[in-house]
Amino acid sequence: MENNNTNMAPEATNTNNVEKPKKKKKRTGKIVFNIITAILFIIIILEAAIGIINMQRISNKEEPIWYLDVKTTENELKTVTEYNLGLYKIVKTDTSKETKITLKPFFLND
């Protein structure tokens, strides 16, 4: 009977070895997810920083550092200029009384 017990021990270690790669796959997936999340967070922060710098430049009546495109709409009462930065947009509204500059996410409309 002692021979049967010794045969069982190697089988038990084999099943433990099979389970370890599954844990490694979960760890690898978690690491990849964390890296992608960190990259997206950095992109959002950089876009916001560029947006704030561009807002200051526009308020000083200078050209923005970087933008994708510009859209200008003119009415009798106001002129609206939108600078598209990607994730954000800067909206400059000129009226006869004042100039208003706002930083908004790309999906918000006036």
Residues 70-85 pLDDT 10s: 999 999 899 999 999 8
Q: Which domain holds residue 73?
A: 2-105
pTM: 0.65
Residue 110 lies in a domain: no
In a domain, 26, yes or no: yes
Is residue 63 domain-resident?
yes
The reply to whether 8 falls in a domain is: yes
Task: For residue 3, name the pLDDT band (cuts at 50, 70, 90).
Answer: low
With contact defined as beta carbons under 8 Å apart, do 52 and 85 qualify? no
pLDDT of residue 51: 87
> Domain for residue 37, yes or no?
yes
Could you read off the pLDDT of 19-53 as tens digits, one per residue?
A: 555 556 678 889 999 999 999 999 999 988 988 99
Helix (H, G, I), strand (E, B) or coil at 84: strand
What does the buried/exposed string (b/e) look like for 7-43 if buried means 16 or more CB atoms within 10 Å of the residue's CB? eeeeeeeeeeeeeeeeeeeeeeeeeeeeeeeeeeeee
Total domains, the chain: 1
Task: Tell which residue, 101, 72, 73, 106, has the closest CA to residue 89.
Answer: 106
The share of the chain scoring above pLDDT 70, in percent, equals 76
Q: Is residue 69 part of a domain?
A: yes
The reported pLDDT for the residue numbered 107 is 86
State the chain's mean pLDDT as an integer: 81
